[in-house]
Amino acid sequence: MSNSNNTNKITNYFTSSSSSSSSSSTVDENSGNGNNNGNKKRPSPVSRNDTILDPVQLQDLNNSNNNNNNNTNNGSRQSTSPTLSYSTSTTSTTSTSTIKQGSTVKSEPTQPQQDTIQIDSQTKKRSKLTESNNNNNNNNNNNNNNNNNNNNNNNNNQQQQKDKLEEDIEFEFEDEGEDSKTIFLVGEPGEPTRDTYNGDYVKLPCSSKNVYKKEDKYLSKWYLICTVFMNPIKNSEELEDAIKEINPRCNWNFQGLHDFFETEYSEAEALEFFTKILPKIIKLALEMPNLFPRPIPLLKQNVDREIVLSQRQVSCLMANALLCTFTRQGPNVKHRNNFPSVNFHSLYSAPLSPARSAKLKCIIHYFKKILNQPIIKLEESLISYHRQVLSDDETPDWESSKVLLRNLTCLADGTIEENGIGMLQVDFANKVIGGGVLGHGCVQEEIRFLINPELIISRLFVEELAENETVIIIGTEQFSKYSGYGDTFTWAGDFNDETDRDSLGRRKTSIVAMDAIKMYGDRFKQFAPIHVGRELLKSYCAFFDRLSATVLSPVASGNWGCGVFGGDKHLKSIIQYMSSSQAGRDLVYHAYGDPQFSQELLSIVVKLQSSGATIGELYDSLWQYYTLMQQSKSSLSLFQYLEARFG
């Protein structure tokens, strides 16, 4: 099926943006001047010392330096999709290369000329920076009597603009104003690229606005990435060199990666990775300009929005994450922001624990498998990432709710992914989605992200979750089996995911990320009404469906927030039972090998249902239990109290 057919299939569901806008240039803080630790074993693929970048927003900045030397090189601007043209001079001949969207670099001899980079970019609006420079230039031309003064003012203004640029201050950008909450990002064949690079969209490495400063010149980061990864990489040391060459300011530790290939992989397995798998990963990563004609909106706080990508697009983003080509996302990359890093560098650091080794095996297996699937299949397979925001009007009045409790099934054994086929499967999430998946963490959320690695890319565009927000991801594929948990987590081989697809081409695997409160110190404080209300709000936001007109699928959940977060499983099971019932869903609860708790939960559910208890009455009971326990300091459990009241 073509992209056109794929789009027709979802016409009634998706609305995509179509207008073009210009965007701003920012300096990549991972690049530029700085010391690159470690000795280089691979020579720099191209000398860029005299290369001048001249994009639209930076033209006048570079012209400021060129005017002082009476030597100006202006870049051409055309209304076409972004094209980078490079000329590299030598003593006798010059090799001119043109890199278009995802194309192979071809070289042919030409006459010697001064080294330049020219960037052509489709532009609809100009930034205030360019307007200001144009106004200054007009004043200089029209005011002959004050020409010297105007030139001085112009230079001062340009220097101020340079300073602002280096501080990562965003340029003004007119939002596209999409009316739909769902944005379909698979482009049509031949669709022109909207090169958008600011704090509202993912800053793609291939953007012509992705630049870094070297000495007094602004250089193309994507050109650097392409040239660095064109050279063969024969081992983990050379992979480290390549990643550090495109991130010279970052003092990252790669010892864990080196240890992995020395101790966990045989010589034949390592050779296969560096000669067969890694070259395909690099090729996939460098196809980014062709695969993303539409900018990827950031899923920001307080904005209910869904984006839809193809499995092929997600694999390209994953390849770039493995190669660490992404800059930090969000409006201000120099100070703390609420977007996590998606680059895999933290996964490469020491020490190499058994669990971290298993993580790397999961990631490598994902690429082995995805790279061997037909492209047309990956283009037709869709994945949606939805930041769901619960408004005040949609928040239930728990105290007065007359809704009856629905069915609850409790399973002593098995996992959510095994038993939850066709259900809404809960990810016991961190408010920073993915938690420690790329670090030391290896509990429920991290494991789910490793066996379904397409979940990891949500870290690229999902901002930290607020209390009334969750993330619903539909369509990811499970690639791996596993055993163990935490320190005992082990990769257990390939998993063949045969999950059916919906009418949009998504696998019918719905995963909702909802973060629990972290409880420290006195664990009884989680029974306080303010904390109970927060957990009810969060879980209801996860289970609520404002769109479906059919019977909602059950929720597959378990001991949410009851591990390292310190939650009480008696309380959390009742909270999830209340919120799923309020949302109109049955609950399938996983006790994770605790048959005694499973029986206790089923027993109290029978008593609640037989008494005709409403959600409002159960909410009032939680309040009374908290008050009683504060006064009496009794050892009475929540289930014992509920049994006494409703039994």
Find out whether 412 and 433 touch, Cβ atoms under 8 Å: no
Which residue in 427, 477, 535, 600 is the catalytic one?
427
- Alpha carbons 412 and 561: distance in angstroms, whole number: 18
- Alpha carbons 415 and 361: distance in angstroms, whole number: 21
DSSP one-letter code for 329: P
Cis before residue 351, ω within 30 degrees of 0? Answer: yes
CB atoms near residue 45 (< 10 Å): 15
Q: Report which of 547, 392, 542 is spatially closest to residue 472, judged by C-alpha positions.
A: 542
CB atoms near residue 197 (< 10 Å): 25
Report strand pairing: 382-389 vs 469-474.
antiparallel
What is the residue-wise DSSP string for 208-251? Answer: TTEEEEETTEEEEHHHHHHHHTTS---SHHHHHHHHHHH-TT--
With helix as H, strand as E and coil as C, how does 131-198 read? HHHHHHHHHHHHCHHHHHHHHHHHHHHHHHHHHHHHCCCCCCCCCCCCCCCEEECCCCCCCCCCCCCC
Q: Report which of 532, 540, 549, 533 is spatially closest to residue 583, judged by C-alpha positions.
A: 540
- Alpha carbons 27 and 369: distance in angstroms, whole number: 36
- Alpha carbons 423 and 413: distance in angstroms, whole number: 17
Sign of dihedral through CA atoms 166, 167, 173, 178? positive
CA torsion 366→369→370→374, rounded to 10°? -170
Which residue in 120, 380, 446, 568 is the catalytic one?
446
Which residue in 120, 445, 469, 568 is the catalytic one?
445
Report strand pairing: 555-558 vs 587-590.
parallel
Q: What angle do CA 319, 219, 244 make, to 5 degrees?
A: 45
Q: Report which of 193, 198, 204 is spatially closest to residue 168, judged by C-alpha positions.
A: 198
Distances (CA, A) of 163 to 60, 149, 166, 215: 14, 21, 5, 14
Does the annotation mark 446 as catalytic? yes
* Plot region of 612 (φ>0 → left; ψ -120 to 50 → alpha; else → beta): left
Q: What does the block give as tokens for 299?
A: 């899923």
CA torsion 460→511→413→431, rounded to 10°? 50
Does the annotation mark 497 as catalytic? no
Does the annotation mark 445 as catalytic? yes
- Alpha carbons 401 and 581: distance in angstroms, whole number: 11
Distance of CA 425 to the CA centre of its chain: 20
Contacts of 576 (CB under 8 A, 6+ apart): 539, 555, 557, 560, 587, 589
Q: Report which of 259, 281, 261 is spatially closest to residue 271, judged by C-alpha positions.
A: 261
On whether 609 is known to bind a ligand per the annotation, the reply is: no
- Alpha carbons 377 and 310: distance in angstroms, whole number: 10
On whether 485 is known to bind a ligand per the annotation, the reply is: yes
Q: What does the block give as tokens for 333?
A: 């990359």
Strand, helix or coil at 512? strand
Q: What angle do CA 59, 65, 71 make, to 5 degrees?
A: 90
Residue count (the chain): 647
Catalytic residues: 427, 445-446
User: Which positions make up the binding site for substrate?
Assistant: 430, 444, 485
User: Which positions make up the binding site?
Assistant: 430, 444, 485
